[in-house]
Chain A
Amino acid sequence: MSAHAATADHSSHDHHDDHGHHHEPGFWSKYVFSTDHKMIGIQYGITAMLFLLFGFYLMMVMRWSIAYPHEPLPGWMDWVFTDNWKARWLQDGKVTGDTYNMFGAMHGTIMVFLGVVPLGFGAFGNYVTPLQIGAVDMAFPKLNMLSYWVYLLGGLIMIGSFFMESGSAKSGWTNYSPLAGFADGQIVNQWLAGQTQWLIGLVCLITSSLLGSVNFVTTIINLRARGMTWMRLPFFVWAMLVTGFLLLLAFPPLEAAGIMQLVDRVFHSSFFLPSGLFTKSDGLVQISGGGSPLLFQHLFWFLGHPEVYVLLLPAFACVAEIIPANTRRPMWGYKSMVYGVIVLGFLSFVVWAHHMYMTGMGPAISTWFQITTVLISIPSVVLLTALMISLWGGSIRFTPPMIWACAFIPMFGIGGLTGLPLAFNLADLHLHDTYYVIGHFHYVVAPGILFAFFGGVHHWYPKITGRYMSKTLNHLHFWPTLICMNTLFFPMLTQGMAGFHRRWYNGGDAYLAKALDSANVFGTTVREHIDLNILMSRSAWIMALFQIPFIVNLILSYVRGKKVESDNPWNATTLEWATPTPPGHGNFTFDVAVYRGPYEYSQPDSDKDYTPQWEKPKTDAPVIAEPAPVAHH
């Protein structure tokens, strides 16, 4: 916002020619404190991937404890521990219940809040959205930078809690009170307790995503290029718009809950602590009481369910870009996808208590939540089906991103379908808090969402770096990962139906002692199911091993990868491919105008099999100079 901007009534496009006047920014302002949405997107991406790796590591330790609860943690896993930690958090080298709880809580938190959301919304959203709508940058670049730094701060506070005397949070990623109100109660200075720092970190993360979502929605509403009407927006942008609204409106109630739980812990109030609370160590707890643990669950899941779609929509967004570009045909049902995603966003606010069927909800309210939950599966299925039908009759190129996208569809399908029994109160009473639930949502998140993101990385890598990622390394990454994902998560579904509880730190030793040979509905015994633990854990570790090709690919391709032949290497139609490679500060080198919908592949009136959005119509039809007034919103 310079002085001369204030004097002229200008629109978005008459300033591109003054690129040359900008002097090169220094290292710090270019790579670290950058306000460029592309650099911030990359920062988000790298940070989120590092967090994902760390979350993965926590899971590997947990899987050891589940598969081999009686054996010491092997050296290749416990080298991260200092001597003091080995003594404090391991018992004769074995993982203790406390440690398992800590790692479990942090695995969930890190994967959801620090890994997948920032990767989908922060990284892909930041990099791609302004490019796809033909904007020079986000509407508020400085806010964008602040959003990243607040996210990093929140993440570091959470990770930092591992170094506290109390260890990190240990009440599950849902942080239910009263447990979460008491854990680490022995720490006198509560600000230094891991459980408290989790809350502080969470408040930072919510603030960050709030700043981010305000920025995204503003950008999408106001910074679209000429001719980029609502129904010409790529599906990616639509998904980001809905995600932005979900973050904007669903996160604040959790912020309220986080603040209240913080007050509970630090100032000893009783928002979520009932009267007459009795604990093993304290007896009748000396608090005022009068609060409600259920209130926390309501506030948490009011966020928690939209959060699922915050994770999911960016993944759908990536796949929706990859599939048309690699099938060379228009996306099937673009409009129904757009309406579907809006309905999905809306409904996601009124389904939350299907996570709470076990809390003693009456028949009327649980009927409400069952109905809405089943309703929300309709738009989800619309989205998935549209993507699937888009494959029909296309001339599919199995490029690296397309392989991931193709795997996404069935894997996410399993995740979605296994969710249906959980939507129904009666089935949920049996399956609640078992490994079935774990299997269900990991199918959604790991081989679903993460596969889509791997695809996204391969898809946009050539735009970011100007080089392709290696196909060979990708195959070495993709196939083992696909197999291991299924051998890891599928047994969870059957284990869950056999009654394995999700929070057993030793994989069910006590259950085994009780029911060694009792057969379940599949005619299998607890004994057979407990042996699946070993298969699953080994799959997890092997999968970790086969992430190395990806990391190598990511780094090596930057210097050694095959160079792209043009600015539009996939011959795609959306606007990000109209920029130079990599795009400079300000993105576009020409006056951006949009003449058509986002996925015009193999149009009969074109000599190419793709017609980019920015290509002028051949006919003498009048060029759209100004966007039509927007009536629909």
Chain B
Amino acid sequence: MEIPYIFTPRKDTGMCNSKIAIWLFLASEVMLFGGFFSSYVYLRLGADYPWPERALPVMPGLINTFVLIFSSVTVVFAWVSLKLRKWGMFQIYMAITVLCAAIFMGLKAIEYNVKFHHQAVRLSDYTILEGHLDHIEGITDKKGHEVEADVIHVKVNKLTFSTVRFHKPWVEEMIRQAEVNKATITLGSPLKIEGQEVPSGTALTVSLLNQIKKNHLASRSNNAEVRTEALRDAWVTEKAKVGNEGKQGWQMASNVNIDMDAIAGQLKVETSSIVFQVTPPTELWFPQRDIKEGATQSKLRDDTVIDGEMLESPVAFHNLDAIDFRYVVMKAEEKGIDPEKAIENTWLIKNNEEAREAWEWNKEQMVILQEELTKGYGLDKNGKPNREPTLTERYRIGWQDFAAKAEKVNKGHEAFNMKEQFMGPNYEHRAPAHTFPHLHIPRELVFLSGKFTPAWNTYYAIYFTMTFLHGLHVIGGAIVLSYYLFRGKKMYQTNPEWLANRVEVGGLFWHFVDLVWIFLFPILYLM
């Protein structure tokens, strides 16, 4: 059996199978990316926070655009070489294409990595702060690294685990931390498991919790069985009593009850939660995302209840490299308050000397910028300047601005090298000039804190999702093209047209990946 038209076009349609298939596939890709582009527009127009326009460093994206366009050219030439029956040239062009894919993904990885290590904090008064965190001295995670200053410290005296829900790695982490602090976590009150007494004071281990869980599930199953049977019996009795009155279930339900006294003997003790004492009460830390903190009682996401006083858990910036008041301004305008006044009233400006200095500096810079703009573009007929500083220029003090301030040049006139354009500020190099402020933020002021990940805002969410998906396409395309490069010899020897056909189809996909990036680059980097 032979499938026809694998590489010879069918006469009446003029196409071979793979050609039709790849275009159908691309059509569906149009709809897939179309879904994302539509979402981008929808989210951007509907954003109730200042959309971070032109937020990403352009240089990596620009280089990647060049790399991808270049690879698009080389893949066409790989196909041309095959058509001209030049196997050697094909190999060279295809190798360059695959290499371009590798460069693209490498740059992408660097870009991602910078964001994953860059901290952002939103205060409850809508001030947004960016930078790099301090490490807390003396507190290490299980790998021995010092923990970043964005954790919740609690002086724990009691832990109540949910028997079915406890998360094993978290329990292990608590045991480890208690050990480091020379404290013990022990069972609060004695307990019977499968007839055996577990005395109070038994040390917390995961296997103990597992035993308790197993025991609990067994009694729970038993009790459910007993209660179900009892309820069934109660219904039978009630129905017999009512007889043929034509009553429906909802009319009888109030009279049907489980006779708890009768089944009391058959029920076993359930332990849905289990209490452990921490002696002496000791300080444990928890990643802020896992915990819902309270002054005297906190709760972990796996339903573990932590009793104990919450200690000071500030977010501490080692290098604060951006202060962003745009959200403050937006909220102030919604309420009809003067934005500048709202900014002066923020916790940051009131409590931090360096921040206030930077804000004053930025205001001065705005005057200078306005003068420049007026000089360049003049006034309109109402005597208002034709061009004004943007919202971003007025209310965001970025790391470039901190650098300019330290270098004592005007905003927008600072100097960077290539590495800084890629990776953000070079902190060590800029440290002697005291470029970036140091800042401690009390926990109660923090509304949201995290790295520049999808969780930070919907812009980063759609940025990561779209570029990651695009990256997957690059990888997929590169795999297919490398297959032709390394395994194409046999196809070529059998029939050069066969391979040419395949390369054309693979190339079509590759061009499409390029085509998507042509749109991704401006909407994510330049708009």
Contact = CB atoms under 8 A, between A and B. Distances in A.
A288 B457 contact: yes
B27 to A, nearest CB: 6
Contacts of A69: 249-250, 253
Interface in B463-483: 464-465, 469
A515 interface: no
A185 B301 contact: yes
Given A92-B231, A267-B455, A186 B165 contact: yes
Contacts, number: 252
A221 B43 contact: no
B525 interface: no
Contacts of B465: 259-260, 263, 269, 271
B1 A19 contact: yes
A71 B8 contact: no
B383 to A, nearest CB: 38
Given A87-B217, A186-B303, A218 B448 contact: no
Nearest to A255: B32
A627 interface: yes
A11 B4 contact: yes
B323 to A, nearest CB: 18
B458 A270 contact: yes
Contacts of A19: 1
A263 B302 contact: no
B1 A136 contact: yes
Given A92-B227, A188-B167, A295-B42, A221 B6 contact: no
B454 interface: yes
A87 B163 CA distance: 15
A630 B11 CA distance: 9
Interface in B330-387: none
A176 to B, nearest CB: 16
Contacts of A608: none
B456 interface: yes
Contacts of B34: 252-253
A427 B214 CA distance: 53
A10 B228 CA distance: 71
Contacts of B220: 84, 87-88
A251 interface: yes
Contacts of B489: none
B266 interface: no
Given A139-B21, A252-B29, A263-B461, A628 B12 contact: yes
Nearest to B29: A252
A68 B253 CA distance: 10
Contacts of A271: 39, 43, 458, 461-462, 465
B48 A290 contact: yes
A87 B227 CA distance: 10
A586 B39 CA distance: 45
Interface in B14-41: 15-17, 20-21, 24-25, 27-29, 31-36, 38-39
Interface string A58-96: 000000000111111000000000011011101011100
A178 to B, nearest CB: 14
Interface stretch (A1-9, A316-324, A411-419, A437-445): A1-9
Contact of B221 (A1, A84, A627): A84
B461 A137 contact: no
A269 B461 contact: yes
A251 B28 contact: yes
A629 interface: yes
A476 B228 CA distance: 36
Contact of A270 (B20, B235, B457): B457
A210 interface: yes
Contacts of A11: 4
A275 B327 CA distance: 13
B268 to A, nearest CB: 11
Interface in B208-234: 217, 220-221, 223-225, 227-228, 230-232
A474 interface: no
Interface string A173-217: 000000000000110110000000000000000000010011101
A221 B20 CA distance: 8
Given A11-B4, A68-B249, A223-B4, A287 B455 contact: yes
Contacts of B39: 256-257, 260, 271, 295, 299
Interface in B256-282: 256, 258
Contacts of B456: 288
B252 to A, nearest CB: 8
A270 B31 contact: no
A223 B221 contact: no
Contacts of A223: 3-5, 17
A291 interface: yes
B1 A299 contact: no
Contacts of A185: 301
A627 B458 contact: no
A7 B224 contact: no
Nearest to B9: A222
B224 A90 contact: yes
A186 B292 CA distance: 12
B8 to A, nearest CB: 6
A292 B43 contact: yes
A269 B13 CA distance: 47
A165 interface: yes
Nearest to B226: A92
Nearest to A585: B1
A222 B301 contact: no
Interface in A251-305: 251-257, 259-260, 263-264, 267-271, 274-275, 282, 286-292, 295, 298-299, 302
A165 B302 CA distance: 12
Contacts of A214: 21, 24-25, 28
B228 A86 contact: yes
A263 B462 CA distance: 10
B170 interface: yes
A509 interface: yes
Interface in B158-195: 164-165, 167, 170
B339 to A, nearest CB: 20
Interface string A462-484: 00000000000000000000000
B47 interface: yes
A348 to B, nearest CB: 14
B165 A87 contact: no
Contacts of B122: 288
Interface in A88-145: 88, 90, 92-94, 136-137, 139-141
A299 B42 CA distance: 11
Contacts of A87: 217, 220-221, 223-225
Contacts of A531: 248
A2 B224 CA distance: 63
Contacts of A1: 3, 6
B417 interface: no
Contacts of B17: 139-140, 218, 222-223
Contacts of B6: 1, 5
The 10 A-B pairs of least Cβ separation, nearest first, read: A256-B35, A93-B228, A586-B1, A253-B35, A269-B454, A269-B461, A252-B32, A87-B224, A6-B495, A70-B253
Given A248-B27, A287-B448, 16 more contacts: A92-B228, A93-B228, A139-B21, A214-B21, A215-B21, A222-B10, A222-B20, A253-B31, A253-B32, A267-B464, A271-B461, A286-B447, A289-B48, A292-B43, A299-B35, A626-B12
Interface of A: 1-3, 5-7, 9-12, 15, 19, 22, 67-72, 83-84, 86-88, 90, 92-94, 136-137, 139-141, 165, 185-186, 188-189, 210, 213-215, 217-218, 221-223, 248-257, 259-260, 263-264, 267-271, 274-275, 282, 286-292, 295, 298-299, 302, 509, 512, 530-531, 534, 585-586, 626-630
24 contacts: A69-B249, A70-B256, A71-B249, A86-B221, A87-B217, A88-B220, A92-B227, A92-B230, A92-B258, A94-B231, A136-B4, A139-B20, A218-B20, A253-B32, A254-B35, A255-B32, A256-B32, A267-B464, A269-B460, A270-B455, A271-B39, A271-B465, A290-B47, A630-B13
